[in-house]
Chains A and B, each alone.
Chain A
Amino acid sequence: MKNIDSYTHTRGESIYLDDIPVVAGTLYAACFDSPVAHGKIISLDVHAAEKSPGVVRVLTHKDITGINQIGGIIPDEELFAEEHVHFCGMPVALVIAETDHQARAAVKKIKIEIELLHVITDPREAAEKGELIVPPRTFKTGDCETAWAACDHIFEGKADTNGQEHLYIETQGAYAVPGEHGVIKIYSSTQGPTAVQRAVSKVTGLPMHRLEVDVTRLGGGFGGKEDQANTWAALCALATHVLKRPVKYSLSRMEDIRMTGKRHPYSSDFKIGLNKDLKIIAYEVTFYQNAGAAADLSPAVMERTLFHATNTYFIPNATATAYSCRTNLPPNTAFRGFGGPQGMFVIESAIAKAADELGVNAAIIQQKNLLQTGDELLYGQNVVSEANECWDKAVALYDLEAAQKEIIVFNEANHVYKKGIALMPICFGISFTNTLMNQARALVHVYTDGSVVVSTGAIEMGQGVNTKILQVVAQIFSIDPARVKVNSTNTYRIANTSPSAASATADLNGKATFIACTEILNRLKEVAASELKVAASLIEIKDELVFTNGIKSGLDWVQLVEMTFAKRISLSEHGHYSTPDIHFDKAIGKGHPFAYHVYGTAITTVTVDCIRGIYEVDSVKIVHDFGSSMNPIIDLGQIEGGVVQGIGWMTIEEIVYDKEGKLRSNALSTYKVPDIYSAPKEIKVDFLQTQQDNLAIFRSKAVGEPPLMYGIGAFFALRNAIKNFNPNLKPAFDAPMTPEKVLMNLYPEKIAALKTIHHAKETIQAAEIKV
């Protein structure tokens, strides 16, 4: 089934936040944010802004009617800076004016005096100074200390990954409209309507039942609107609460990039020990997570890094420790993979390092250590593994041996161009690691004309969740999908939702929908049974017709619905689902936190232009564990999109902060995401369809986050291509592998020679070259 939004999407008729028709009297907001990364506010002068044409009001922390606090996990984040600013882009004041243009013009008239304080951008510096968001955490299995003695080979190293800007094409925004009895309706581009409701409740002091949050869809989220949509909603709602007028704020791209957090950069140390058979015996890793200036979701992201520290490998002795480090960057946040990719990059680096030193192909070490069913991960969960199935099928289906030979032949024949290849197996746990979040509700109404409307807590952001929800309804009732409408996500219809995140949205909300529909279906069957005078167990609805014992009864869907209503039996149901079997003891770091795991293997081939340092991804060939895909078009789209986003993170997407904590890659002209030419020439996806039961909706495994991690293969393929140019080179494990890093890695001697002649200023200078 095609994405149910494809009709309005392709016609430009889908409605996003900035497309909602504005009601008369709407005011426009614009934020004045800190120009420096760390300092003490000496004075703030909003007088000129207040006098600026069209300005209705300038709000600061003094105008907050509730509390000046939007921290989700930890209350450590002010909405408006009060005494100190902690990052460039931190909101200080909000201008509200009659037009968007006037609001932005007035922002420029605000003056602030700040006493500069020391700026930290490096997580290791923060850790050294004890600037931690939460105490460090360790996951541990076996005993590394004694295991090192049993290792034939031990290698140590460092691995770094940079952040990643979400770059949802629709920027963040909110629109608050006052209603009667102090109610505020908030349209928000958020993945977490309940999080918005809570944040607004705190800031305004209004109880949650006065706050209706409504979301039709997002123009992309990727985690960036899980927690960070709260700020804009809180600002607009506060203004509405104070002024009793509708207030809208749709961020400009530069405001968005400057003021919001990104994927967490990590700097990590690893130590890996193998025996002579290349089995990994012990692995020790320390992660320094760059959390930014406040907690946001960092503790949860850090936890998932620990969960995925050993990726898809069985390692009997492993110790993983993580520090969530407070720096003066915008609070970093959720991003597809949620810390998992950062954890996986380090173990893959450790394996690559071992392979380099031992002179073997990394794929041999990877393959020998893949998880088997029954193996226990470092957090105590025993896995039902598809790791070997995916790997073996990929190697056979895509003829790895032939591909490797072709590359050798190509590299011998070419001096300018060198190819490299790498395998990337993945294992990703599905569920919120915070067990209590694994619950969802769905509200299903069947109307007397036989049409159905369903509301859930799921947010449609392009991942196709609404299509899957609609499929559940149509399939359970066995009715034409055209009879089903998926409603917007609204906190008045569905309360206390978990955000659409952790790849679990279709599972949780789909199952809740399944429960609600099944309950209604059972009532309908009872009615049919009593009408047809047979046992309910013999009744079946197929293609909108009622069958008794497999024979057409003459009753159809609409008649049965009318009949049920006439008997005063409810045609509505509110279904509730909570994931069974999962538990996790945070104190000891052990349990069974995931409903299931998703597996897969990708083979990535790249070509590097060794004169210019530029490169192309020739192909990514994947075998992916879908369970049993309920929507192959949507699932294929998630894989292809995830792969390219992952490749972007590993290659050209480079976030640049200067030492003062100012973002230099602050626009689409300086932060480059993949375009159509930089997507791999070929992406092949083989659907590994398995028969085992699992906790996914219709056994169709979650597919949102896992494919992003295939992109990690591009880094190692590029690294291998560089080594194929010159086997003596040992490129650092420092992602992304930009064309700059490729070139610098290819020619260390030329760089050394240049450095002796020209004393380069290594740091970013303030006087940036403008276009």
Chain B
Amino acid sequence: MVHFILNNKDISTGLPKGMLLLDFIRYHQHLAGTKIGCREGDCGACTVLVGEVKQGELIYRSVTSCLMPLGNAHGKHIVTIEGVNIEGLNFIQQCFADEGATQCGFCTPGFIVSMAGCCLSKKEVNPQSAIDAVNGNICRCTGYKSIERAVATVAHKMNERNGKDAIDFAIENKILPSYFSTIQQRLAAFRLSTNGELKLQGNPAKFLGGGTDLYVQQHEAMVDEEIDFLFNKNNLKGIEQQGSKCIMGAAVTATDILESPIFQQYFPSLKKFIKLVSSTQIRNMATVAGNVINGSPIGDFTIFLLVLDARLILSDGAATRELPLRELFKGYKILNKAPDEFIDKIYFELPAHTDLFNFEKVCKRTHLDIASVNTAIKLSMEGDIISVGAISAGGIGPIPTYLKNTSAFLQGKKVSAELISGLIEIAQTEISPISDARGTEMYKRLLLGQLISAHFVTLFPAMDVQNLMTQ
């Protein structure tokens, strides 16, 4: 049985754990406000909030319910548009109505729910962070400007919070209904009665993290699968530093990385990089191990981790083994991994203060899109000499690729236009892009070269850019 709270109602259901939360909400609970737009996490019309107690605090995150199985809802508070309604319009809804930020209305509940999540966050809300909160919601009617005006008004309202408890403030200001004040206690009671984690029957065949890829590829088949839900396992959570190493649990999400003080300290441009990775909703669900194990040739975190020479701790439930990430990919979606093995932990050496790191990604749409080409670079500097360098790239072959020869070429070199053109030339020999919906082969070749230049322009702002651009 899966137990959770849906809006203000306790749910216990014996329906398949692999069933999508979206279908459960719409077709079993008859809550039709959560809409179906794409079933692949790309439109946000089905956005709901997931609340859970972490370190004694009730935290809410927005997710796309089209990619979330019931099993991942276990023990949590799920909030749909119906769950944020009060008598009359709530403050967010009123702002949308006042600004004409709803036209056909089909995407609107998703936007409202995303904003409700933003208002529940402990972080400061400003017009930009309010826009970030709805960055996974697509609207085809408004052109977004009225939505920007509406969320800016909400953000101004949130300025009045002044450190007050998020839920209390939201209730007092008619942003959310009053039942929210009961949730934390009810979730705690739930935990006691169900003894925490989801019980499984038999031997589950499929591992599932956040579901953001598996449910895109095979949402119909997944319903009836026996699934081992890794997302909620406490032993797979957490980012910690041990000496110069960073150790991540497999179920760490993109949002966890974005909010990690360790990552923020060692990767000062982290926010800029992560903004290029999917949307708020997907980042709240997608796990780092899922990104790796999916084997996509363009997985953003995989590209990131390849230059860091990350190591995987693989487990089959009994024994564990360690594998360098660079040795995981054998061919298109073919992995150096047994079927019953899952990633337990991922670790890597944190960059030294003399190390430089950059991540570049270009896609058709800059945000909430899959890369045409993505690439990362790490340079260990000794003065103005590169002692060791590493470059990875995705979208340029069947696997996410550590560019071995290109990386080797960096060693002992000074940064110059000649070095860059040399790197680009070598990189071209290490890649085999194909033409597809994300670009032609020639484009991807050109783009990788350009992004290698971009790494250096970004990391060495004093470089003569004009010379580089015209060479």
Contact = CB atoms under 8 A, between A and B. Distances in A.
Contacts of B12: none
A533 interface: no
B213 interface: yes
Contacts of B142: 637, 640-641, 644
A410 B357 CA distance: 29
A169 B443 contact: no
A2 interface: yes
Interface in B427-465: 428, 434-443, 445-447, 449-451, 453-454, 457, 465
A683 B437 contact: no
B297 interface: yes
B103 interface: yes
A22 B196 CA distance: 37
B108 A769 contact: no
A255 to B, nearest CB: 11
B112 A10 contact: yes
Contacts of B228: none
Given A637-B103, A670-B438, A674-B365, A169 B35 contact: yes
Given A169-B138, A669-B40, A762-B440, A10 B469 contact: no
B225 interface: no
Q: How large is the interface on A (under 10, 10 to 19, 20 to 34, 35 or more residues)?
A: 35 or more
A18 B92 CA distance: 25
Interface string A659-684: 00000110111101111111100010
A115 interface: no
B38 A668 contact: yes
A768 B443 CA distance: 15
B450 A6 contact: no
Interface in B334-354: none
A605 interface: no
Contacts of A674: 143-144, 365
Interface stretch (A262-270, A314-322, A586-594, A746-754): A746-754
A768 B39 CA distance: 21
A219 B80 CA distance: 19
A636 B100 contact: yes
Contact of B437 (A8, A9, A11, A670): A670
A688 B337 CA distance: 66
Contact of B105 (A5, A761, A769): A5
Most buried by A among B37, B145, B366, B369: B145
Contact of A675 (B106, B138, B220): B138
Interface stretch (B129-137, B162-170, B263-271): B129-137
Nearest to A637: B100
A678 B367 contact: yes
A462 B101 CA distance: 11
B386 interface: no
B435 A170 contact: no
A276 interface: no
Q: Which of B42, B104, B454 has the most CB of A within 10 A?
A: B104
Contacts of A757: 428
A15 B105 contact: no
A221 B104 CA distance: 9
A668 B40 CA distance: 8
Interface stretch (B81-89, B181-189, B197-205, B309-317): B81-89
Interface in A702-745: 738-740, 743-744
Interface string A753-771: 0110110111111011111
B33 A611 contact: no
Interface in A66-103: 101
Nearest to A679: B144
Contacts of A461: 104
Nearest to A463: B103
A323 B145 CA distance: 38
A613 B442 contact: no
Contacts of A220: 104, 106, 140-141
A642 interface: yes
Contact of A12 (B80, B146, B296, B395): B80
Nearest to A8: B105
A654 B364 contact: yes
Interface size class of B (residues with CB under 8 A): 35 or more
B93 A464 contact: no
B148 interface: yes
A667 B40 contact: yes
A5 B105 CA distance: 8
A222 interface: yes
B32 A12 contact: yes
B274 to A, nearest CB: 14
For chain B, what secondary structure do more than half of its interface residues adopt (helix, strand, loop), or is it mixed?
Answer: loop
A672 B364 contact: yes
B362 interface: yes
Given A169-B43, A652-B365, A672-B365, A11 B32 contact: no
Given A10-B89, A169-B37, A765 B438 contact: no
Given A416-B465, A644-B143, A219 B435 contact: no
A676 B43 contact: no
A104 interface: yes
A433 interface: no
B96 interface: yes
Given A610-B469, A652-B364, A674-B144, A767 B105 contact: no
B409 to A, nearest CB: 17
Contacts of B369: 672
B372 interface: yes
Nearest to B275: A677
A565 interface: no
A770 B434 CA distance: 12
A16 interface: yes
A696 B447 CA distance: 50
Nearest to A639: B143
Given A9-B105, A665-B437, A675-B367, A771 B298 contact: yes
B216 interface: yes
Contacts of B423: none
A481 B457 CA distance: 60
A252 interface: yes
Contacts of B216: 669, 771
A612 B454 contact: yes
A690 interface: no
Given A218-B104, A463-B103, A760 B35 contact: no
Contacts of A664: 436-437
A4 to B, nearest CB: 10
A743 B144 contact: no
A642 B143 contact: yes
Nearest to B95: A10
Contact of A3 (B39, B100, B296, B298): B100
B427 to A, nearest CB: 12
Given A3-B100, A19-B32, A222-B140, A678 B146 contact: no
Contacts of B395: 769
Contacts of B104: 168-170, 217-221, 461-462
For B105, B108, B137, B140, the residue with the greatest tally of chain A CB atoms inside 10 Å of its CB is B105
26 contacts: A3-B100, A10-B89, A11-B82, A11-B93, A12-B33, A18-B26, A101-B223, A105-B220, A217-B104, A219-B107, A220-B141, A253-B40, A462-B104, A611-B457, A612-B360, A612-B362, A636-B100, A654-B364, A656-B437, A665-B437, A669-B42, A683-B145, A754-B442, A758-B441, A760-B440, A768-B434
The 6 closest A-B CB pairs, nearest first, are A12-B33, A462-B104, A219-B106, A9-B105, A644-B143, A12-B81
Interface of B: 26, 30, 32-40, 42-43, 45, 80-82, 85, 89, 92-94, 96-100, 102-109, 112, 131, 134-135, 137-148, 213, 216-217, 220, 223, 294, 296-298, 332-333, 360, 362-370, 372, 395, 398, 428, 434-443, 445-447, 449-451, 453-454, 457, 465-466, 469
